[in-house]
Structure formats: structure tokens, C-alpha cells
Amino acid sequence: MEKYEFDSLVLSVSLPAQLCVREHSCWLHVKKEVREKGLLLDKDDVIPLKEAFKWIVQGPIAKELGGVSVVTKSALEVAVEFTHQPTDADCHFLASACPDCFKPTKNKQSVFTRMAVVKALEKISDAKFLRLFACPPPQPSSCCVPQGVHCLHLSVFIAGRYNKFCRSLPQTPWVIDGERRMESSVEELIAAPVLSAFRADGFNFSSSGREDVDVRTLGNGRPFAMELLNPHRARLNHEEMKQLQQSINVSSDKIRVRDLQIVSREAMSRMKEGEEEKTKSYTALIWTRKPIKSEDIAFISDIKELTLDQKTPLRVLHRRALAVRQRVVHSMNVRFMDAHHFHLELKTQAGTYIKEFVHGDFGRTKPNLCELLKTDTDILELDVESVDVDWPPAIPE
């Protein structure tokens, strides 16, 4: 626990399942004694053993940890599990009394889970229980044994935007048939300093769309978010976040991060909200088989709101379902370069396959640039210029 930074914790205690049997036996004994004295006592009036134990130990725990609050709701959970082998057999009689409650499961070593024992105790009649188990229960000769302390901190979420300046860097680790194809990725270049700063056990990375390995992401960058799993440090102030962003940016010239900030779990969904209604802007370097003049391509700049039918591209068919998706190219602008090359600027609906719009993907995208220009065309370079998602909030430099 010394590796965690925290000012409060919630204590989670796992007691041996057989204690439920002993607690039930004690309750039946107390109920009989109270009834004989002409008094009334409901089970709800009795504090459960587990809660009583937590009340007793939370004061000493708080004191031992230097005044840390032990509360019912905290980002840090401290779980303590106890066992008591000498009384393990105390609940075995329930298996024959209530066989339906004890079903073998793959992940559990024993069928006598706490949940199964509680369920059986709810089903068994008092008379039957008293026939099969001592009331009150015999006093054990040894104490429960702690099996260890396990700490788990709630996830911390961070967000920002990244630029990618390299045409040989995948967004996520590129593994094909179990073999690593590229030495790094955008995800890993960002994650390494972040994991170190928050001392987290792991992470989940997500972003507003993704670019191909050979595509740059320029402009204000692409929004991304990370869930940090079991962080041992959960808070960084504004200056520390600024330093973390700087350490990411100096670690590689292939990427750059901006607007790095801690966000809430709820805010994460803003990145994905209405994703297909968002627009993205691109610049592509186009090659044409047939020689062209500036006036041959000028008409493209006049095309607005062009609806495409895009069958799942061949290059992604191994990981995406076969479907025909309608996407809209909102506007285009051309800049003539030479007889076989021009720059094409596009503003499109998010999710549009730009490469396939250019070369047609063997007719799987219609209409396409080949049809419009009546010649074979291909894309030599592609840059993402903007991802129009207004999240996360911009942080002034």
C-alpha cells in the first residue's frame, strides 16, 4: 500500500463461507433465548458479523495509516481475505440438505462459495438446520488466517489530441500472425510516459477514428483517451500534466500531444457521440495514368455533397464485416501540379474510406475518382488535416 497515493479507502472484507453457518446458528440460539424471556427480536436488529468486524478494525487501520479516512465509498479499495481451515467442513452438510444451491463451476475451486451458502441458509428450515448443526456452534480453537491484502484503485481517465508526422507508424501495435511488424506505435509512444507518471498497471486506448500506418495526422490532431488501470497515483496538477505532455513530445519526433488532461469516465463518451455525423478534412497527392491539364480537373472543385456507396474495402475485410456503407464527400478542392499529379483537398463525413474513393477498390466504391476523371487514379500520400470533434477542451499553450 505504500506505493499508492490516497487520503481515503474503502475496506472490503472476505470472511470464510462457514462463518455464515456459525452466524446463523448463533442467531437461532439468540432468538430462542429471547423468546423464552418474552421479548421480540428481528434479524434486522442484529448487526452482521462482517459489518461488526469492519467497525472494530477501521479505527486502528486509519490510525496505522496516519489518519487516512476509512469510508464506505472511495477510489481505493483495500480487500482482505480470511480463511479458517479447521472449520471448512462446517458447511458441508448443506450440500445434502440443499443440493440445488451447490453447482460446480469452472472458475471456483470449491462449490461452497459464500453466495451458495447464504442461498442454502435461506432455503433450509430452522428445524432441519438444528437437526444437522450444533446450536450454539462449538468454539473454535484458533483464529482466522489472513490470506493477504489486495489493493485496487478506480481507473483514471485522461484525454488529449495527437499529431502523427511519420508515414511508417501505426496507431496501435501492428501484429500480423503473431509477428510484430513495426517497432512502435502512436499508442505506445503516448502510453509509456503516462503509465510511468500515474504508476498504473495497464491501460485501454481509444480515439476518434484511426489513420492508416502511412497517413499523417496534422492540424489540431486527433482526439484520444486512455483509461489507466489501477493507478497508484491518481492526481496530477496542471503543471505536472504540462510536464507529462512535454515528456511525451520530447521522447519522439514522430508524434506530438496537446490538450492533455484528466477527464471523467462520463466525459469519455463525448468523443464517440455522433461520430458518423462528424466531418474530417484531408489532403491527398493524386496520380493519374492519363496526362491532365489544370482545366481537366477544375470541375471537381464544384462537386458538393457527393454520396458514395462503399463496400467494405478489401484491405480491411479481414477485420470488418462485409457491408455497403453510405458516406458523403461534402466538398473537394483541386490544386494542379503537373501532367500526372494534383493535390486533392476533401471534407468528408467521418468513416469515409478516402483511398478507396480515389482508386475505386476494383469498383467496390461508387462513384470514385477514376470514374469522375475517366482514367486510372491512385493516391500517393494522404494527410488528415482536421478531425472536427470539439473534445477534449483546448488548453491554452
Q: Which residues contact 47 (CB under 8 A, 6 or more apart)?
A: 55
304 in Cβ contact with 395 (< 8 Å): no
Give the cell for residue 130.
438444528
Three-state helix/strand/coil letters over the chain: CCCCCCCEEEEEEECCCHHHHHHHHHHHHHHHHHHHCCCCCCHHHCCCHHHHHHHHHHHHHHHHCCCCEEECCCCEEEEEEEECHHHHHHHCHHHHHCHHHCCCCCCCCCCCCHHHHHHHHHHCCHHHHHHHCCCCCCCCCCCCEEEEEEEEECCEEEEEEEEECCCCCCCCCCEECCEECCCCCHHHHHHHHHHHHHCCCEEEEEECCCCCCCCEEEEEEEEEEEEEECCCCCCCCHHHHHHHHHHHHHHCCCEEEEEEEEECHHHHHHHCCCHHHCEEEEEEEEEECCCCCHHHHHHHHHCEEEEEEEECCHHHCCCCCCCEEEEEEEEEEEEEEECCEEEEEEEEECCCCHHHHHHCCCCCEECCHHHHHCCCEEEEEEEEEEECCCCCCCCCC
Active-site annotation holds for 212: yes
d(CA 86, CA 109): 18
Nearest Cα neighbor of 287 from 341, 338, 335 is 341
Catalytic residue among 100, 177, 212, 259: 212
Q: Is-contact 171 185, C-beta < 8 A?
A: yes
Contact 282, 354 (CB under 8 A): yes
What amino acid positions are annotated as catalytic residues?
212
